[in-house]
Structure formats: C-alpha cells, structure tokens
Structure 1
Amino acid sequence: MKKWLVGLTVFGLLGTMVPVQTEAAGTGAKKLPVLDTKTKKAYIKGTFDSKGKALFYFDTKTYLTGGTHLKFAADATEAVTVYESQTDYQKQLVYERYAEVSDQSLIFPLSWSGRQYIEIEGKKNTAFVVPFKLERFEPMREQLAKASTSAKASSLVVKVTGTTSQTMQLSEKTDAVKRETIDAGLKLEKFTYRTVMQALAAKRKLEQTRGVAYVELDSQMRGLGGDVFKSYQWSLNNTGQRGGVKGADINFDAMKKRIASKKQSTVLVAVIDTGINPTYADFAGRVRMDLGYDFVNRQRLAIDDHGHGSHVAGVIAANSNNTYGMSGINAKASIIPIKVLSEDNYGSNSNIAKGIMHAVKNKAKVINMSIGGGFSSRAIEDALAYAKKQGVLVVVASGNDGANKLSYPARSQYAFSVGSSNRFDKRSAFSNYGDGLDLIAPGQDIPSYLSDGESAFWSGTSMAAPHVAGVASLLYSLKPTIKASEVENILKKSAQDLGKKGYDTSYGYGRLDVDRAVQLLR
C-alpha cells in the first residue's frame, strides 16, 4: 500500500496546542482534537503502538460550516493516510490522487457523510505530533481534452439476420477468438480477433456474406470533461461573478420558487459514462446502484474510476441545501449509473450500445450521454432508435472540437444535441455546432465532483448536456405523463434565443432556461 510523506515546514502550521480527545470509535481509534476557533488549527498528539501506527477518526459534518478540506502535515519520518470510511480503512483502500502528493501537506476533501479515518505511521513506541488545519478551497481547475476516437479495433460489431447457429458459423468461419451477444433483440453480436489486421480482413469477408445486415469496427469514443460551492455555480445563478454577464444562467432560482409548492415524482435518469462514486453525502439516496451496470469490468456496481461520470451526475442530481458541496438541478432525479467508459475515459461502441439498451430496459425516462467522437456507429444508432421508440429522451453532448459539425452520437437523428455556453451567454469556443444542434447550456467552468471526492471546475459540452438532462427530468417529475416529444418541444420553445433570430446552427433554439420551461408545462 502506498503512503505519503508530508513535510511539516511546507505550510509552517502554527497555533495553540489543543489536547487530543480519546473517545472510542469502535476500531480503537481516537477522535481528532477540537480545532482552535480562531485559527482553525489543531494538533494530533499521541504515541505510536508496537507496530508504529496510530488511528484517529472524525465526522465530516463537524467541519462543513468552516471549510471544504482538512490539511494534514507530518514530518519526514511520518506517513499520513486518510480513508473515507471504516470499510475503506479495513480494506486499506486509499486515494490515487494522494499518490501524486510529494513533500506537501495531505489535503482531504470533505465530501462524505459519516465517519472518516486517519492512520499515522512512524517509529514504533515513540511520541508524535501532527498539525492539521481546516481550509476553504474553491474547486480545482482542470480542462477536458477534445473528443477523439480510435479506429484501431480488433473487434467487430455485426448485425445478423439469421439464427444463433448461423451466427456461430459466421464467427468460426472468420476465425474469431471470441463471440459475444451485445443485444439479442437487436441481433447485435461482437466478434473479437487476435489482431487489427485480422479484424479488417474479417470485416471485408462479412460484408459480402448472406445473413449479415452490417458490420463495423468496434471503435472507441471518449467522455466529452446553503451549499459551500453554490456560489461558484454561475450556471444556476449568474450574478456577474468573475466578470460574467448577470442573468446569463438557466434561471434556476426563479424555478425553485415557482415549483416550491408543487408535487414532484421521482424520475430515473441514466448517466452513461465512467460510473459514479455513490458514497458522497451529496449523492445520498440519489443513486440507484442496484439498477446500474459496469460494462467495462462486467460487474454489477458501476463505480467511477475516472471522475467524468461523477461530475456529470452532480450537475443533474446533487442534493441541495445540506451544507455539503453543491446543488443539483432536479431534487427528484434518481441516477442509474451505467459504466461504458474505462478509467482512461474511453469506451467501445459495443459497450455504449449495451449501455443504452440497459438504460431503456431499466425504465430510465432520460439518458445523458456526455460521450462522442468522429465516427458514426450503426450499432449505437440502432440502440438510439430503440430508445426513441420506447419514449426515452436521449441528451447528448455536441463535442469539444470547436468544429462546424456535431460529434457522434450528437448528430444522430434520435439524439437531443447540446452545445456549451459560457458565463457571457456566448457559445464556448470549443463547442461543436452545426446542423442538428438543438440547444446550448452552460458548460464552461462548471463545478462538480470527481471520483475521489474533490470538486473541480471542468469545461466541455459534457458539462452542458447534464444541465439539459436535469431540466428534462424536472419536467417529467412535475408531469409524469408527459411524452419525450413534448419535453423536447418545451425545451426548445422555452430557450433564450441567442445569435441570429430564431433557430441557427451556432446556438440551436437558444440557451436553456429552466424557469421558462416549467412555465410552459400544461
């Protein structure tokens, strides 16, 4: 297990010594000492046991009114590790982000409800003192990369028209080393070969074979990047902060007042992405892990190992007014996490198609796909067509190349395509535009969660799409009988017209406006 050495002198933490408390926590752990009210600092004091270890605990809620992170500083002979829960401590599960910390204080984000644990290691049977401090940080600043795809695939997606036995024969005749059913109803199969060249040769052969409707390379797509962080959410309430244009937001606060007395029903929203970390306090009761699936690792729990999916989900459904990080758009959205992108944020067309089918079959009313690339996929198109037929609204990010052409699947006729706007009510420079663009929504400098509890500003059409998905789910929650086509029409009619008057390919029907959308509900 990795540990992190953190230097005491880096931040020069000084302050009044506060005695350590010794309340038991069920693991032999001692409670962290109380912080000095003025300096927000304290010292963890104790003696290492015969194994050179000491264990402490704290509850995140204790600190939320004063800051967003705890900062620990040990000397060069000591190592500090923080765990988000007792279970993680027992399993010795630590954060990858902390592996990047070298000769600095360990900084722990206060994102979790419940109890956290701190393990300090050093020379056995010796005394130690570790300073710590409560800090308030704004979300980190990270930028999402452009969308891209890879055609170097050693697998094929094959739509067959024959029987199962005939499909097996096709697999054997082309020397596939593996055959897998993507969806039996759509008759989509995946054939895998030893090399890219063998896959290309098999593709040519299958294209000339009876019983094959179409065949394509299984290419990859990429993911398109009273609450303490509420003031940073300009997309919900733009007061002109950071030089923005006052009112260039989705009119969230006005909507909240308008629906305050209205009844809302729970709405299932599928986030097809990198998965979700469901352990955050802001996701409590909001994530249906039982309905989700991880198609990358082929397991039930769709746990986020990248951060993209958690960031998207936070925009849609983070709990509001609980003193934790941020506010989601729809208080009644229930997220189905579907993992189709791996830890490098790439995913295969076949898994994306599976994810769409899984979402529909698990009764999602809205699907968010902050995913895209340059190559179209007939397999994904078939899955999207099925979703459309079943009355599911599929919201897709337009792409981050700044190009006059939407990424795929945003340009699909079955997708509701969303570009990005900035705090000045202009289309973001990176946002793809062109024929088929439906709306733009805030997508630049959007704060939300990463997979390890940190909050970060990300920019991308990936962040714009969940604003629309969140609003669409809100309309469903207020009127459960509404049809997807009606939701689309309301989103378009209620949008704030920007650019040329009426529809244009730079802004679509305009910038998302949730309050006007709610007003159009009948």
Structure 2
Amino acid sequence: MSKKWMITLIFVTVLWMWIQPMASSPVYSQSGGHPDSQETEELIVGFRDDTSVDTAFDVHRKMGMQVVKSVRGPLRFDVVKVKGKTVEEAVQMYRRMPGVAYAEPNAVFRLQDYFPGYPVYPKDPYYITGQWGVKQVWADIAWDKARSSSRTVVAVLDSGVDDTHSELSGKVIKGYDYVNKDTNPMDDDTQFGGHGTQMAGIIAAQTDNLSGIAGMAPYAKILAIKVCGRDGTCSIANIAQGIQYAVNHGAGVINMSFYGYQSSTTLSNAVNYAYSKGVVMVASAGNDGKNRVTWPCYYSQVVCVGATDMDDKKASFSNYGIWVDVAAPGVDIETTRRGGGYGYASGTSPAAALVSGEAALLKAQGRSYANVISAITKTTDAVPGMGTYWRYGRINAYRAVQY
C-alpha cells in the first residue's frame, strides 16, 4: 500500500471514530428529556389510585430500586434512586409493571436570574430610586383602589425566604423545606442575595414604612416553600409537593420563578390539582432569549410571563413566543436581599413576581380564578411584540383592578 493511501486510511478511520458517538446520541422530543435538562439519577413513579401500598412496595422490590420518598394525598407517586441500569431503561421497565400509571425522570428546573450579565447589585436601602417597574404597570395608582389583604396568601415556591428582612417581617408564613426536608424554609441560601427573598419583596414588601421599597401587593402574606437548592436547581418532585402544600395551606396565588425544558406528568398533575381548587399560578418564561416553550409556563392553567425593559421592549434575555401570555418589567427591578438591604434583580423571575403581586390584588377583591385570569390578560397595554413575543401585552395593574 502506498504512503498516500495509508495516510488516507488513517484519516478516514479517525474521522469515523469521531463522528460515531454523535451518530448514536439520543434524539430528544419536546415531551421527553432535553439536553438542557440537568441529568438525574432519580425516577418518579406514579401509581394508579387502586394500587395498594403492598403492590407498590413489591414493584420497587422486583425492580431492585431504593425508594427516596413517597408522596401521598391528591398526588400519588414515589421517588426512587436508579441502580444497575440507565434512567431510560428503568422508565421502560416500570411502565410495564402492574399498578404503575407512569414513570419519568425526576428532572430539575432552574431559578430565573442565573445568567451572565444581570447580577443583583448591592444598594443603599435608604436611597430612593423610584421603582420604575411598579410605576410602569401603574401599581401605585392601582393602590388607590386595592392593596390586597392579609387574608390573601401568595406561595413563593423558590429557594426560601429570609423573614428577618424588615420589609418582610411579620408577613411570611413558614411553610416547608423540601430540599432539606424540614420545617424551616427561611434559609434562602442561593447566590445573588437570595432568589426567593427577592421574589417575596417584589410581591409583598412593606409599604408606607418610610424606607426601602413597596411591594405590588403590600398587604398580602407570603407562604414560604423551599423547593430549590443552593445551586438554583429545583426537582420536579419538590415542585409538585410544593404546589400541593401551597394549595392545602390556603394559598390563593402560587409564584414559580423557575423553568425547565421538560414536560412532566407529575408536574401536570400538581398543576391540575391547584387549578381544580381555583389557585392562580404564575411562572416565568425563561432567560435564554429563545422562542422555545418551557414548563411550568407552558401549561394552559398557568399565567406565563415574559420580560420587558424600561422602553417596553422585549428584554434581550427573555424567552418569547405566542405561548407566553403576558409581559412585565424584568430589568433592574429593585427588591429585597437576603440578610437585609436591597438590590436589583433582572430576568423573567422578577417579571413573574410582579404578575403574582397583581394577581394578589385581584384575589383580595374576591374574584374567581377565571375573573383574575381575564383581568390580568385583557387589561394589558399594547407594547411591541404583542401577538408575537407574547399573546397579550404588558400588564397594567390599575386597569386590572377596575376590570
């Protein structure tokens, strides 16, 4: 064999070895796994209503899986740790077992201000900045008609809430911590000043106290439910349990400032349960700047929120599309920080929190679920991208409380 042919053969062999792994890579669908979803070694196994505890235990025993947690009530599923096989293999095997309704990966979603270029900056708490986002949606004028009520509870499913902050003192109801499995959801340990504390401040910070900021629904209560860890990830199992807890403990509004690119039967069941009880759910669309659906935002029972800037234009980072319901300010939104003080938050997270605050104003007026949704969506202001970036426009709280 000539030297030229030998070099050619080596080149072709190396090229084949390089492309072969790509050729065998899995293809993801919108309803299944997605390369943007963090890998997991856990599985959620849902059982039919008529499946006994003994049958469920026997299924796990035959599968050789370790049960991490069992969730009962309106939601009925177990979380198991996969051993000895891949997650996909375990999914397929469980689906063939008696009494099993579904099986799916316990994927994780992410909190919404975790992206480059938009950190939260420290701010002197006594410096009056004007809170442009609150004014942009006419909330300060809406307060002449409605300021919410202490009977209105907004569940913040997030990384916890620092209830020692002066703006939140006496306003936070201690829920549950599904990350550390305890009754102290106040240890907001995420970076950037505490994500859950930021959302709580935007929704319901003290007003007329001559310092700091004003919340969208200043008289509302915050139900703190920790479903997201220090790294900003939130498992589907934790989120579903958080929704169930919120509904069962009197929440009228649920704020979910996180997203994932994977649908889930478990999450869908939880959303349907909240919807059946008339609870208004609000979620952020995501910060990847793409027209690509995210969950829980994509569920029809959830108000999906994109972000706008000070000029009422789509924020560069905001996900978009006709699947997004409304827009709200989401750039440099002043809010509370973990440990005291104030800062700025950018992302579809604060945008969703503003809409949750608006929903709390409407809930306090005694409105039904359907009427709250109509008031939020049908009183928006027409802004660039209406009908393209989002179905309706940018929220207007003043018009909503008069709807």
TM tier, shorter chain? 0.7 to 0.9
Match of 1:212 among 86, 96, 100: 100
Separation in 2, partners of 1:346, 1:458: 18
Separation in 2, partners of 1:155, 1:264: 40
The one-letter code sitting in structure 2 at the alignment partner of 1:309 is G
Aligned length: 353
Of structures 1 and 2, the one scoring higher in RCO (CA 8 A, sep 6+) is 2
Q: Does 1:410 align with 2:294?
A: no
Alignment CA distance shift 1:166-1:499 (3 Å) = same
Partner of 1:236: 134
Partner of 1:468: 355
Partner of 1:111: none
The one-letter code sitting in structure 2 at the alignment partner of 1:220 is V
Partner of 2:9: none
Deviation of 1:199 after TM superposition, in Å, equals 3.6
Cα contact 1:148–1:372 (8 A) shared by 2: no
Partner of 1:510: 393
Deviation of 1:373 after TM superposition, in Å, equals 1.2
CA shift digits 1:403-452 (9 cap, x unpaired): 11231110112211011011011111111111321110011111212323
Q: How does 1:454-493 map to 2 (within 5 A)?
A: 454-477=341-364, 479-480=365-366, 482-493=367-378
Match of 2:245 among 349, 352, 358: 358
Q: How does 1:99-498 map to 2 (within 5 A)?
A: 149-161=36-48, 162-194=51-83, 197-225=85-113, 228-237=126-135, 249-259=136-146, 264=149, 266-289=151-174, 292-303=175-186, 304-306=188-190, 307-477=194-364, 479-480=365-366, 482-498=367-383
TM-score with structure 2 setting the length: 0.83
Q: List alignment gaps of at least 5 residues for structure 1.
A: 1-146, 238-248
What secondary structure does 1:492 align onto?
helix
Identity of matched residues, %: 32
Alignment CA distance shift 1:513-1:357 (3 Å) = same
Separation in 1, partners of 2:285, 2:229: 21
Deviation of 1:183 after TM superposition, in Å, equals 3.2
Q: List alignment gaps of at least 5 residues for structure 2.
A: 1-33, 114-124
What secondary structure does 2:173 align onto?
coil
What secondary structure does 2:167 align onto?
helix
What secondary structure does 1:516 align onto?
helix
What secondary structure does 2:243 align onto?
helix
Deviation of 1:397 after TM superposition, in Å, equals 0.4
Cα contact 1:155–1:192 (8 A) shared by 2: yes
Separation in 2, partners of 1:385, 1:435: 22
The one-letter code sitting in structure 1 at the alignment partner of 2:343 is A
The one-letter code sitting in structure 1 at the alignment partner of 2:397 is V
Separation in 1, partners of 2:239, 2:213: 29
CA shift digits 1:325-346 (9 cap, x unpaired): 2111112210000000011111
TM-score with structure 1 setting the length: 0.65
Cα contact 1:275–1:338 (8 A) shared by 2: yes
Alignment CA distance shift 1:264-1:311 (3 Å) = closer
Cα contact 1:312–1:466 (8 A) shared by 2: yes
What secondary structure does 2:349 align onto?
helix
What secondary structure does 1:235 align onto?
helix
Cα contact 2:206–2:219 (8 A) shared by 1: no
Cα contact 1:437–1:505 (8 A) shared by 2: no
